[in-house]
Amino acid sequence: MTNKTYSPKAEEIEHRWFVVDATDKILGRLASEIAQVLRGKRNPSYTPHADVGDHVIVVNAEKIRVTGRKAEQKVYYRHTGYPGGIRSTSYSAMLEKNPERIIQKAVWGMLPHNTLGRQIFKKLRVYAGNEHRHSAQQPVALEI
């Protein structure tokens, strides 16, 4: 008697669409919930080596909150690839210029940094305002 472990095949997986309103949500808590939905950890057919997650649309990214003094102290770093090419951007400057990137960077840090993680990350769409262009997919509101 042997039991076989069920592993879902790519054509059997149904990816649903969810929309999340980021108004007055805490950045890290929101990002961890979004990462779980993207990864598929809430699905009963979760498989670590396959993309079984759902698509997530985040609206109102400009209304995200952080706790403590992170609004003044948090800094985002990137490197140009050249010697001495480190660049930094404060949280407040990033919120004014690219509020979508704040949520994207937080979620990316919670996903695996490999080919599967890059594939999963493509299912995240973030918009600064209240409007999104994915109404044809009939997304369901996800309460976080």
- The four Cα atoms 38, 40, 42, 45 give a dihedral, to 10 degrees, of 160
pLDDT value at residue 7: 87
Question: For residue 29, what are its two tokens?
Answer: 């808590």
User: What does the pLDDT read at residue 43?
Assistant: 92
Is this structure's pTM higher than 0.75?
yes
pLDDT higher than threshold 90 for residue 58: yes
Structure confidence at residue 32 (pLDDT): 98
Confidence (pLDDT) at 38:
98
What domains can be seen in the chain, in order of their start residue? Answer: 15-63+112-144 (3.90.1180.10), 65-98 (no CATH)
pLDDT of residue 144: 87
What is the C-alpha separation between 31 and 130, in angstroms, rounded? 18
pLDDT beyond 90 at 10 = no
What pLDDT does residue 6 have?
Answer: 85
Other residues' Cβ atoms within 10 Å of the Cβ of residue 37: 21
Rounded-to-integer distance, Cα 21 and Cα 64, Å: 9
The per-residue pLDDT of the chain, averaged, comes to: 96
Per-residue pLDDT averaged across 30-50, rounded?
A: 95
pLDDT of 1 above 90: no
10 or 141: which leads in pLDDT: 141
